[in-house]
Amino acid sequence: MEYSNFTYTARDKQQIFAQIWKCANAKSVVILVHGLGEHSGRYRHVAEFLNQNQFSVVAFDLPGHGKSGGKRGHIPSYETAMEIISHFVEEARTKFTGLPVFLYGHSMGGSLVLYYGLTRNPQITGVIASSPGLATAKPLPRATLAAGKILSRIYPSFSMNNNLDISGLSRDTSVVEAYKKDPLVHPWVSAALGIDIIEQGKWMLSKNHVITIPLLLLQGSADRLVNPTATRQFSEKVEGKVTFSNWEYLYHELHNEPEKREILQTIVGWMNNTMN
């Protein structure tokens, strides 16, 4: 495995931190998109597993997250995120000429890669969305939602606590403890980002979309951070080559559950079958 990192300047002048885990004789490259409040460094073990199976990995910290610039928890819009994902798709094509490209996103990152697949008609090989943030596990109070919508217009970068139930990340308590102690993890979400996650999730669930590239959806049935039913409903409504992988009793971070090896092997198997 060959590791490197770099930064690039996004259109809004924010510095975006990125990492590459390159393996010998790679047959494909995977672009990883993390979730709300976390960062790409939490996926090192995922990258190492993919490397062992001949997949190189590119991962980056979204604006307002990890080692990237910006106010903590603030991404101006989904369109900002789409531009950054597009940049890394092209980056992967440049650094890994001729290799198939997969997008793999978790939680908010899962929502972002789904939105990218639906709206950009990307020339990539497939999309993997793990526990995508299509709907919250519990509906937000009307007053909170109304206040968020107003703030998203008049003070979009206003940050509030995301109130994530971190005990629901994984049944492995060491994962939860590491999350609590991670200095790059934060509990913030801006008004603009919070409303965008909700509104774009509603849009993705409200229509019978067509996705033109193969899609793998993974969801734990005991997820307390996103609504597992929403993931299943999306899989049933969207038209295209869609695989839904349901994991009974598993929590939100499937790649950090005690069964993580089985989860990652499912992803590797699906990518191999998709390329063949």
Whether 41 and 93 have beta carbons less than 8 Å apart is answered as no
pTM over the 0.85 mark: yes
pLDDT of residue 144: 84
- Give the up-direction half-sphere exposure of residue 79: CA atoms within 13 A in the CB hemisphere: 2
Provide the token pair at 266.
């499912």
Question: Beta 15-22 vs 55-60: how paired, if at all?
Answer: antiparallel
Give the pLDDT of residue 224: 97
Range of the domain at 160: 2-275
Q: Over its length of 276 residues, how does the chain's per-residue pLDDT go in tens digits?
A: 899 999 999 988 999 999 999 999 999 999 999 999 999 999 999 999 999 999 999 999 999 999 999 999 999 999 999 999 999 999 999 999 999 999 999 999 999 999 999 999 899 999 999 999 999 998 888 888 888 899 999 999 999 999 999 999 999 999 999 999 999 999 999 999 999 999 999 999 998 999 999 999 999 999 999 999 999 999 999 999 999 999 999 999 999 999 999 999 999 999 999 999
Number of domains composing the chain: 1
The region, left, alpha or beta by phi > 0 then psi within -120 to 50, assigned to residue 232 is: alpha
* CATH assignment at residue 156: 3.40.50.1820
How many helices (H) and strands (E) in the chain? 8, 10
- In the prediction, which pLDDT does 52 show? 98
How far apart, in whole angstroms, are the C-alpha atoms of residue 4 and residue 43? 15
Is residue 95 within 8 A of residue 23, CB to CB? The reply is no
